[in-house]
Amino acid sequence: MTAAVLYGKEDLRLERVAVPQAGPGELIVRVGAALTCGTDLKVYRRGYHAIMLKPPIPFGHELAGVVSEVGAGVTTFREGDRVVALNSAPCDMCFFCRHGQQNLCEDLLFNNGAYAEFIRIPARIVEKNTLLVPDGFPLEHAALTEALACVVRGLEESGARAGDTMVVIGAGPIGLMFMHAAELGGVSVIAVVKREDQMGAAKLFGAACVVQVEAVEDVVAATRALTPDGRGADVVVEAVASPLTWEWAVDMVRKGGVVNFFGGPPRGTKVRLDTNRLHYGDITLKASFHHTPATCRTAFDLVTSGRFKCAEYITGRAGLDELPGVFARMMERDGGSREIKTAVFPGGVPQ
Ligand SMILES: [Zn+2]
Ligand SMILES: [Zn+2]
């Protein structure tokens, strides 16, 4: 079969590899659709991921497909089942798992290799993080579950409630999902976007107002002016991963509010924060990473609910053979693209 393998910085190759076989407890899934994601682009650009993968490694982690082989002992899935298999599963035994922080599991088992005709799903993911897709529901939409699961956890951690005002900085796939999920929860969203051509997407996904960074002199002041009584937002989500936007986030939140630093800047990055404002403003700083089996299920329910604008996230469609080109273009247009996610169809792009 053909599979995409990441060898290092901007070095993604298509290779012929053996079709995997299911060991005990495992599944083999014929990938129906795999989605590109900001994390993929980050890993492609940097050549590594802090904890998820080290090259050379099969690439891609957001997928849905059809079970093509069932390993010994698997009773919950059958050949032909349509499934979303998440990209990780926790051990449920370590310190962090026992403290309700499965996203920080010391033995978090990751699975990569979604950009391939087939993918092996390890037993632990089969058992804990594989979900049956409803009949007729498009696989490329179901594959949004993983990214949204991270967002759902970020939202839960931020404690935003209906009626609150939330600033979301960044209009990449994750920023847009934050806006959309928050708006569906009754939260009033102010989007802070870099470019004019991102304003439409922010509004489409529920932002009540949009601040375009390049169009205002003082981004913090312009954003605060849009919050009730100008006191700042109840919650600010940073979804850019730059030191400057981390600092903006702290300056945009109200006294007693919550900042969630969702974007992960590169190793060794430091930021300068106003300690006076943090202390006397009683501000809570959080940083959310990854998802838990519970937020995967919440995200899956939202994705399949009919309320979530799944189709709007998929702005490109490609065959597996086009993947290196897709990534090269994402790099070129980084910061200048209206693309949200590309759906990659290893079996050929459906007509
Ligand atoms: Zn992802
Ligand atoms: Zn654990």
Query: What are the pLDDT digits (tens) for 239-291?
Result: 999 999 999 999 999 999 999 999 988 889 999 999 999 999 999 999 999 99
pLDDT of residue 335: 52
Q: Which amino acid is at 264?
A: G
Question: What is the distance between the alpha carbons of residues 161 and 137, in angstroms, rounded to a whole number?
Answer: 30
CA separation for the pair 303, 323 (Å, rounded): 25
Q: Which domain holds residue 16?
A: 2-144+308-345
Question: How many A from CA of 123 to the centre of ligand 2?
Answer: 15
Output the CA 54–ligand 2 centroid distance in Å: 21
Q: Separation of 190 CA from ligand 1 center, angstroms?
A: 24
The answer on 172 and 97 residing in a single domain is no
* 175 CA distance to ligand 1 middle (Å): 13
Query: Distance between CA 7 and CA 281 in Å, rounded?
Result: 47
What is the pLDDT at residue 142?
Answer: 98
* Contact indicator for 263, 42 with CB cutoff of 8 Å: no
pLDDT score recorded for residue 39: 85
Task: Indicate whether 232 and 105 sit together in one domain.
Answer: no
Name the average pLDDT for the chain: 94
Could you report the per-residue pLDDT of 284-300, keeping only the tens digit for each?
A: 999 999 999 999 999 99
Query: Residues with Cβ within 5 Å of ion ligand 2?
Result: 90-91, 94, 97, 105
Pairing of strands 82-85, 130-132: antiparallel
- Does 291 fall in a domain? no
User: What is the value of pTM for the model shown?
Assistant: 0.95
Question: How far, in Å, from the CA of 234 to the mean position of ligand 1?
Answer: 27
Which has the closest alpha carbon to 44: 32, 55, 33, 35? Answer: 55
Distance 227 CA to ligand 1 centre (A): 31
Query: Whose atoms come closest to the Cα of 147: which ligand?
Result: 1
Distance 127 CA to ligand 2 centre (A): 15
The reply to whether 239 falls in a domain is yes
pLDDT at 48: 73
**Which ligand is closest to the CA of 97, given by its number?**
2
- Whether residue 295 is contained in a domain is answered as no
- Same domain for 338 and 260: no
165 in a domain, yes or no? Answer: yes
Exposure string of 123-155, with b = 16+ CB inside 10 Å and e = fewer, is bbbbebbbbebeeeebbbbbbbbbbbbbbbbbb
Q: How many CB atoms lie within 10 A of CB 304?
A: 19
204 Cα to the center of ligand 1, angstroms: 21
Which of the ligands is closest to the CA of residue 107?
2
The alpha carbon of residue 62 and the mean position of all alpha carbons in its chain are separated, in whole angstroms, by 9
Query: What is the tally of structural domains in the chain?
Result: 2
State pLDDT tens for residues 181-198. Answer: 999 999 999 999 999 989
For residue 52, what pLDDT is reported?
Answer: 63
Answer whether residue 66 is part of any domain: yes
- Please give the full DSSP string across 110-169, using - where no structure is assigned: E----SBSEEEE-HHHHHHSEEEPPTT--HHHHTTHHHHHHHHHHHHHHT--TT-EEEEE
pLDDT in tens, 140-194: 999 999 999 999 999 999 999 999 999 999 999 999 999 999 999 999 999 999 9
Is 302 domain-assigned? no
* CATH code for the domain in which residue 250 is found: 3.40.50.720
- Angle (nearest 5°) at CA 178 between 313 and 191: 95
Give distance in angstroms: CA of 124 to centre of ligand 2. 12
124 and 15 share one domain: yes
**Are residues 167 and 93 both part of a single domain?**
no
Do residues 159 and 239 share a domain? yes
For residues 77 and 27, membership in a common domain is answered with yes
Residues 239 and 124 in one domain: no
In this structure, are 190 and 81 located in the same domain? no
Q: Count other Cβ atoms within 10 Å, centred on residue 210.
A: 22
Do 65 and 161 reside in the same domain of the chain?
Answer: no
3-state secondary structure the chain: CEEEEEEECCEEEEEECCCCCCCCCCEEEEEEEEECCHHHHHHHHHCCCCCCCCCCEECCCCEEEEEEEECCCCCCCCCCCEEEECCEECCCCCHHHHCCCHHHCCCCEECCCCCECEEEECHHHHHHCEEECCCCCCHHHHCCHHHHHHHHHHHHHHCCCCCCEEEEECCCHHHHHHHHHHHHCCCEEEEEECCHHHHHHHHHCCCCEEEEHHHCCCHHHHHHCCCHHHCCEEEEEECCCCHHHHHHHHHHEEEEEEEEECCCCCCCCCCCCCHHHHHHCCCEEECCCCCCHHHHHHHHHHHCCCCCCHHHHEEEEEEHHHHHHHHHHHHHCCCCCCCCEEEEECCCCCC
Answer whether residue 351 is part of any domain.
Answer: no
Give the distance (Å) from ligand 1 centre to CA of residue 147.
5
298 is a domain residue: no
- For residue 144, the ligand closest to its alpha carbon is 1
Query: 121: domain CATH number?
Result: 3.90.180.10
Each residue of 23-63: pLDDT tens digit?
A: 999 999 999 999 999 888 888 988 877 666 677 889 999 99
Q: What pLDDT is attached to residue 336?
A: 56
Question: How close is the Cα of 101 to the center of ligand 2, in Å?
Answer: 8
Structure tokens at 30: 């014929």
